[in-house]
Structure 1
Amino acid sequence: MAGFLDRAKEKAETALSQGKEKVGEVQAQREGQALLRRLGTAYFNEQRGTGSAQEVQDALQALHAHVAEHGDGFLTRG
């Protein structure tokens, strides 16, 4: 009986770990998408004359940092 409980506990811990990993991936994708929107907004505002080149540069640097840490998987089309 103890062997069964040990295996069940191990499987539950593995599932929990996988779930936490997936949540982290989803959060990183959402953050990346938000950074893309920020960059797009900054660029659009700069082109309209209501924003600055510095805002575009700041948004681009934040996006580069995110990609360096989490990869560019959120950049898929669709």
Structure 2
Amino acid sequence: MAGFLDRAKEQAQRGLTQGKQKLDEVQAQRAGGDLLKKLGAAYYAERRGSGSPDATQRALQALESHIAVNGDSFLHHQ
């Protein structure tokens, strides 16, 4: 009986770990999408004359930092 409970506990732990990994992935993709939208908004504002190149550059740097840590897979899920 103890062996069964140990296996069940291990399986539950694996499921919990996989769920956490998926949640982290979804959150990173959502954050990447938000940063991409901010870059688009900054670029649009700059082109319309109400934004600045500095704001666009900051948005681009934030996006590039996110990609360096999390990858760019969110770009393919839009």
TM-score normalized by the length of structure 2: 0.98
* C-alpha deviation, 1:32, in angstroms: 0.2
CA RMSD of aligned residues (A): 0.8
Paired residues in the alignment total 78
Gaps of 5+ in 1: none
What residue is the counterpart of 2:24 in the other structure? 24
Alignment of 1:33-48 (within 5 A): 33-48=33-48
For 1:64, give the aligned amino acid.
E
Matched, 1:4 2:1: no
For 1:8, give the aligned amino acid.
A
Give the percent of matched residue pairs that are identical in Structure 1 and Structure 2.
59
* C-alpha deviation, 1:77, in angstroms: 5.3
For 1:57, give the aligned amino acid.
Q
What residue is the counterpart of 2:13 in the other structure? 13
For 2:74, give the aligned amino acid.
F
Please identify runs of 4+ aligned residues in structure 1 that moved more than 6 A.
none
| Change over 3 Å in CA distance of 1:77–1:29 after alignment to 2 | closer
Partners of 2:41 and 2:69 lie apart in 1 by: 23
What residue is the counterpart of 1:67 in the other structure? 67
* C-alpha deviation, 1:45, in angstroms: 0.2
